[in-house]
Amino acid sequence: MSGDQSGKGILSFVPLFGPFLLLWFIFWLVPLFTGLELSFTGHVTEMASDGTMVGEYKATWGNYQAALGDSKWVKSLGNTTLFVVGSITSTLTLSFFLASVIFRMHRVSQAICLFLLIVPSLALPGTLAKLFYLFFHGKSGVLNQFLVMPLGFQQVNWMMNPDWILPCLVFQSVWRWTGLITLLLFCGMQAIPRWQFETASLEGANRGMVLQTILFPGVRHLLWFAAIFLLVDGVAAFSGAYNLLGGSGGVLDAGLLFVTYVYQVAFPGGSGRFDLPLASAMSLAVAIATTGIAYFLIWSSSIKGVAK
Amino acid sequence: MVLLLTTYPFLWMFFSSFKTNQEIYRTAHIIPEFFDFFAYKLLFSNDLIKFDEVLLRSLFLSGGQAVLACLVTAATGYAIAVGRFRGKRLLFLAAMLLILYPKQALSLFLFEWMVRLGITGSLYGLLFSGVASGLGVVFFAQVFKKIPPELVDLARLEGKSHFGCFLTFLPLVKPALITYGILHFLLSWQEHLLPLLVLKSDELTLPLALAKLSDSSYRIPEAVGLAAGVVALLPMLILFGISFKRIRSALSDWVVS
């Protein structure tokens, strides 16, 4: 292999990774430290000797303490956790099932099914939210007409019922990502050596056994990858909920996601607080937790092998 | 059943972009009574928003980011795959951190940093902020790992620099470049929060325009928002349609590496 372990070796690669590192520094590392600095910035007001109030900015843990005491933030974290767990489990289960069904189809049918499934991934999250509101939602919406009422239940007012707001957001996320994850898993299944299926066939294995002993282990690393992708995307989810709930958290904040709340805290028009330091503390606290979980997932999978 | 649930709403969206509000609320009906193009005319008349500018802005941002991200991340991926130098693992860690804590989650800090730099409202500031991608680096590192080391050594023996070797091998990974380029274009096309924070209120991208058109306080006919959804979906459908075979092939190659 090219290169060596000396300083000269790294210099010859600088033209290759230099632009990436520069952009990473300017648009990732420095903003992160900017956020860190902001999160420790507190406005302290004290009474001066002449009786006037004097304000100054001091480094403080106050924003983190305030975040922990903010019940809406805690609620948004709970909602986001449920949203992420719901999205990951539903999307991965459905995608694996669909990929295994499409895998057994004829080549032309495979291409058509995969392309049609991917369409929601190509749409803007705002389009999905609008479609959900106009097509699935409402008294005459498809969910009530074809799912709820035929089973003999009362019509559900999806966005006004706090019990249903979060499942609706999960539904949107599953609808959006299932096609893309199915495509990824399908490609993984295609890469499994043919002799494994032939051996299973000779030994009389049924479809369930093939699924369990060949297909699932064959795409397990991709399921990890997809879980990390959905975890990161779910924690940072904003657009779908913003469009569907108009920037609010919905009834009783049942659909208040973490990023939406941080946005509300940081900028007027939400709750009008314009409290960037508090919003920064909230963001960083969650970033540390998410990074830890994703780091664990990555090191449990095979992605780390690339750097070797 | 799943295919129907996935794609039927988009057919409904297309046909509903020709309908009146009254027809739209009767979701069971798919074909409009009349094919009235009023929503498209209104959308491109620039009376509501300057939609042609919105479209061009989104195309410029997403296209620019996709092209630059392909070049920058492919070069870094090549360095990680082929090179053996001190700090390689740190470089990979930097890319992984970008995946774990992506730009979307960093938007607030990025906005504050851009305010300090005085580049809020700048389309170029927004464009360059989305070029460095951790996913791209990991993707291309795996792609370039497939190039036989003997080929790299041969190119080096011919006196080529590492950058020269990278340029030589770049055409070999064309399907991967197209695949990643389209994926990056898609993610940039769908980005909502950072443009919302950074761009001026009259400089919208497609997700912001769609949110504005869906705002009930503007009392805009539903068909206009649906027409915008159709227009926003078309470039992605065309891009994926043309390259779908290549994307499948590149992904199949990538998943085994």
Can you tell me the mean pLDDT for A7-15?
Answer: 80
Distance separating alpha carbons of residues A239 and A246, to the nearest angstrom? 10
Q: What is the complex's ipTM, to 2 decimals?
A: 0.92
Distance of CA A204 to the CA centre of its chain: 41
- Which candidate from A120, A266, A280 shows the least CB-CB separation from B6? A120
Q: Who's near B126: CB < 8 A, 6+ residues apart?
A: B61, B194, B195, B198, B199
Instruction: Give the model confidence (pLDDT) of A204-218 as tens digits.
Output: 888 889 999 999 998
Contact A15 B161 (CB under 8 A): yes
Q: Which of A12, A122, A303 to mutate to test the interface with B (most CBs of B within 10 A)?
A: A122
**B245 contacts in chain A (CB < 8 Å):** 111
pLDDT-derived band at A59, boundaries 50, 70, 90:
low
Query: Of A232, A64, A144, which Cα lies nearest the Cα of B103?
Result: A232
- A225-251 pLDDT tens trace: 889 889 888 888 888 888 888 778 888
- Measured between beta carbons, the chain B residues lying within 8 angstroms of A99 are none
| Residue B216 distance to chain A (closest CA, Å) | 9
- Find residue A45's DSSP bridge partners: A55
What is the reported pTM? Answer: 0.88
Q: Residue B158 pLDDT more than 80?
A: yes
The C-alpha of B35 sits at a distance from chain A's nearest C-alpha, in angstroms, of: 19
Residue A7 has pLDDT above 60, yes or no: no
Residue-wise burial string across A155-180, b where 16 or more C-beta atoms lie within 10 A, e elsewhere = ebebbeeeebbbbbbbbbbbbbbbbb
Average pLDDT, integer, range B136-156: 91
Interface of A with B in 289-308 (CB under 8 A): 290-291, 294-295, 298, 303, 306-307
